[in-house]
Structure 1
Amino acid sequence: MGGDVNSATKVLADPTAYADDERLHASLADLRAHEPVAWVDQAPYRPFWAITKHADIMDIERANDLWLSEPRPVLVTAEADDLARAQLEAGFGLRTLIHMDDPHHRKVRAIGADWFRPKAMRDLKIRVDELAKRYVDKMRDIGGECDFVTEIAVNFPLYVILSLLGLPEEDFSRMHMLTQEMFGGDDDEYKRGTTPEEQMAVLTDFFNYFGALTASRRANPTDDLASAIANGLVDGELMSDVDTLSYYVIVASAGHDTTKDAISGGLHALIENPGELARLQADPGLMPTAVEEMIRWTTPVKEFMRTAAEDTTVRGVPIAKGESVYLAYVSGNRDEDVFDDPFRFDVGRDPNKHLSFGYGVHFCLGAALARMEMNSIFTELLPRLESIELAGEPELAATTFVGGLKHLPIRCSVR
């Protein structure tokens, strides 16, 4: 770790860095040590302040009246940012919960909140456990080698969240493809086209699908999350088309893709740490802490951004009204001041105050569901797992926002 801050800041504005763990973490460690509040001015992005310490990220998330999600909730290129704002002004565009601030955010969040509360999770657990068994049985039936990401880890949480929404199974593959394209705009394997306009066409496809779904659920409401969204009221009125369609998009996409990243990255960590795998198999009571460690280790959501509502400071560094900060969750989850031996994968780590679900008013709506899905799949798999090893080189996606393993070739024996 050489303390080359200039080089380190460039990593945050380089999607390929997130596909290279060694390079990424070396740079983030330099920033934490030498410049925890660092100015990043790297084309094709607008400048921002990189926040790499856990405590600073928490402080900013807490002060949601000072640090706003609008107008820049995530890092995108200046060109894509301009196009997204122009579309919203024209009445078409993406405005999900992560784009909103209170009080509107709180009202919109409440529409889906009941579907992710403990009672709803208990009711859903039977279905999740059934699906976990289905996919572990599939690993057994495949026998020998498989790509764990594309054959198992993608499909299990996809089926859970789209079943919760009430979508027909024949549409699941379409939702998966659109999600890959939306989150994979920086990855050569996933992206649709090279221009912001081509990539925005993904959103049009999402909106066309969910527009028809909204009309159907308003005409004939059913007992599913899609109906709750379609008929959700804010201040006594139906949500706008933009807010309604965006709600579907964030639930359908983030609701499975991030869990896929945590499941596949968690299995990879167990393969690379056979002592921890054996420890977890010998003591299934460690599963809750193991799940939290997998979520810390993989950090599927790499960052969110906030914009200062007034002049302020972070760690003594002046930040002007209108300037944006980049909350580097990946860095916060390896902060030496918070985690003992942060680069050790420890299935019994406790406490584990990771930032992977965010913090404060924007804490992930689906956190309980993600935890339950991970608990179910590993609780089903590990007692039946006789052997496992890599059968090729794992591959990470290029991204600056959401991502993880694209491919995890494994060779395993499952009873």
Structure 2
Amino acid sequence: MAPAPTHGDADVPDVFDPRLYAEDIPYRRYRLLRDLHPVARQAEPEVLGWPAGPGFWAVTRHADVVRVLREHATYSSWLGATQIRDPDPADLPFLRSTMLNQDPPGHGRLRRLVARAFTPARVDAFAGRVRERARTLLRAARDGAEDGTADLVSAVTDEYALLNLTDLMGIPAADRGLLLEWTVRVIGYQDPDDTPAPLLGPDGKPLNPRSPALLGEMFGYARELAAHKRRHPGDDVMTALAEAELDPAELEMFFFLLTVAGNDTVRSAAPGGLLALARDPDGYRRLAAGEVPMHRAVDELLRVHPPVLSFRRTASVDTELGGQRIRAGDKVVVFHASANHDERVFATPDRLDLGRAHNPHVSFGDGPHVCLGAHFARLQLRVLHEEWRTLMPPPESAGPPRRLVSNFINGITRLPMRVSGPTG
């Protein structure tokens, strides 16, 4: 059991409630935590039908976030998995079979195997297809908008992320809709308006969207696709995984991880970046004029809109962090968006600086679990912004965005923007 807070509860702002993030990222609350309580106890009340938990430590300063992510021997992914909510004990052994929920050295073996499938050369070979897809989707959104506006999430970014990933993985075109359905169910589970009706267990209660019972369809598909790739190999990630030294459960969990995490990284980052540019017309003007390098702009947009808001670790030993005593078994949760706005690391962090040269953001994590697909994500985002600059008018909001109700994924589910008019 975690020790009681050393400060009054009223002094510690809540950054747990998923409903907060439907309004916006709570930067003011993060700032208060960074300045006054950089490692702070947070309660886990029952929210949106999900049961209460024992509480956790919220880690909000950049240096502490990096420390937690790097020190895997102290802060474990394996002990309690990586979501704030405690998994069902019956599901935990199953969840530990994915690379995301393992610690070195076992994690390293799996990462090396999948890294052979996810090489930069293989990713770069898809650049032409990625660019053509960006052009096709942007033109269709522009030319099909009767009133000059479109919801970019449904018209462009959902399809863009999904189709790029399925190309890379080698998934047949007829099956691509399945991946989006699975992603929405797993990622949007906290949001009552963004996920299909929950599947119920024998007791009539909603099943956890990451439980084996809910993922059976996805895993069955992964086994069938792997068998097909062994008979008909191609130059794609799924063929490489099918031929790797993975047992069936490991292959299934890799498929799950790539399908959900690989899709949702760009699915979240792309609309977030366009919204940030719409809010900074002068910054976009400089980008359109070629005054800032595109690779720096992409990383700055990732800094201000990280795809993932939080990740959990579990303390494996008694330790100390940010002046707080952490007990073995305590949940320790890092907040990426807060770390990315830490004034101790970033000059004027609240300002979008598309030419920012020193930008050690943690939007792709750090340490042994740094995002394996970061290269592919950056490629897709760079191409999307390059094609927008060529084909589309300067980004301009045409209505309020709708944000995902989630303390995990920094999702935008609706983004009305102007898509016709003079190009940038």
| TM-score when normalising by structure 2 | 0.89
1:357 aligns to what? 364
**Structure 1 stretch displaced more, 379-388 or 397-406:** 379-388
Residue 26 (structure 1) aligns with: 28
Which stretch of the first structure deviates more once superposed, 386-395 or 45-54?
386-395
Secondary structure of 1:364's partner?
coil
Query: Residues 144-186 of structure 1, C-alpha deviation per residue, up to 9 Å, x if partnerless?
Result: 1110011101111211111111111121122111101101000
Q: Distance in 1 between matches of 2:62 and 2:162?
A: 31
Give 1:75 deviation, angstroms. Answer: 2.7
Contact kept? 1:73, 1:304, Cα under 8 Å? no
* 2:153 counterpart residue number: 149
Q: What is the CA distance between 1:76 and its match in structure 2?
A: 4.3
Aligned to 1:53: 61
Return closer, same or farther for 1:331/1:16 CA change in 2, 3 Å cut-off.
same
Residue in structure 2 matched with residue 228 of structure 1 by the alignment: 240
Alignment-derived partner of residue 277 in structure 1: 284
- Number of residue pairs the alignment of both structures matches: 400
Residue from 111, 114, 128 that aligns with 2:130: 128
The aligned residue for residue 236 of structure 1 is none
Counterpart position of 1:168: 172
Shift of 1:108: 0.7
**Preserved CA contact (<8 Å) 2:278 2:397:** yes
Higher helix fraction (1 or 2): 1
> What corresponds to 2:262 in structure 1?
255
Matched, 1:66 2:74: yes
Q: Any conservation in 2 of the 1:5–1:30 contact (CA below 8 Å)?
A: no
Tell me the amino acid that sits aligned with residue 197 of structure 1.
L
Q: What is the alpha-carbon distance in structure 2 between the residues aligned to residue 256 and residue 8 of structure 1?
A: 38
Identity among equivalent pairs (%):
32
Question: 1:244 maps to what in 2?
Answer: 251
Opposite residue 66 of structure 1, the aligned amino acid is T
Shift of the 8–202 alpha-carbon distance from structure 1 to 2, 3 Å rule, reads farther
Q: In the TM superposition, what are the counterparts of 1:261-300 in structure 2 within 5 Å? A: 261-283=268-290, 285-300=292-307
Change in Cα spacing, 1:396 to 1:61, as seen in structure 2 (3 Å) is: same
Q: Check the 8 A contact 2:272/2:412 in 1, yes or no.
A: yes
**Aligned AA (1:70):** W
Note if contact 1:45-1:75 (Cα within 8 Å) is conserved in structure 2: no
Q: Distance in 2 between matches of 1:158 and 1:32?
A: 36
Deviation string for 1:293-349 (max 9, x for gaps)? 111111111111112221111123111122121011111011111111111112111
- The answer for the alignment partner of 1:212 in structure 2 is 224
Alignment correspondent of 2:327: 320
Q: Which runs of 5+ in 1 are unaligned?
A: 234-238
Aligned-partner SS, 2:361: coil
What is residue 197 of structure 1 aligned with on the other side?
207
What displacement does 1:266 show? 0.6
Q: Indicate how the Cα distance of structure 1 residues 107 and 20 shifts in structure 2: closer, same or farther if over 3 A, else same.
A: same
Residue 35 of structure 1 aligns with an amino acid whose one-letter code is H
CA 1:392–1:339: 2 relative to 1, 3 Å: same
Secondary structure of the structure 1 residue equivalent to 2:54: coil
TM-score normalized by the length of structure 1: 0.90
User: Are the equivalent residues in 2 in contact too, given 1:301–1:329 (CA < 8 A)?
Assistant: yes
CA contact (8 A) 2:81 2:92 kept: no
Counterpart contact for 1:46–1:77, Cα < 8 Å? no
CA distance in structure 1 between the partners assigned to 2:278 and 2:343 by the alignment: 24
One-letter amino acid matched to 1:207:
F
CA root-mean-square deviation: 2.1
Paired with 1:287 and 1:221, the residues of 2 have a C-alpha distance of 36
Tell me if the contact between 2:229 and 2:238 (Cα under 8 Å) persists in the aligned partners.
yes
Q: Would the aligned equivalents of 1:68 and 1:101 in 2 still touch at CA under 8 Å? A: yes
Name the stretch that deviates more: 368-377 or 256-265.
256-265
Report the equivalent of 2:402: 395
Q: CA deviation at 1:248?
A: 0.5
Separation (CA, whole Å) in 2 of partners of 1:61 and 1:360: 5
Gaps of 5+ in 2: 1-6, 46-51, 199-204
1:14 aligns with 2:17: yes
Amino acid at match of 1:103: P
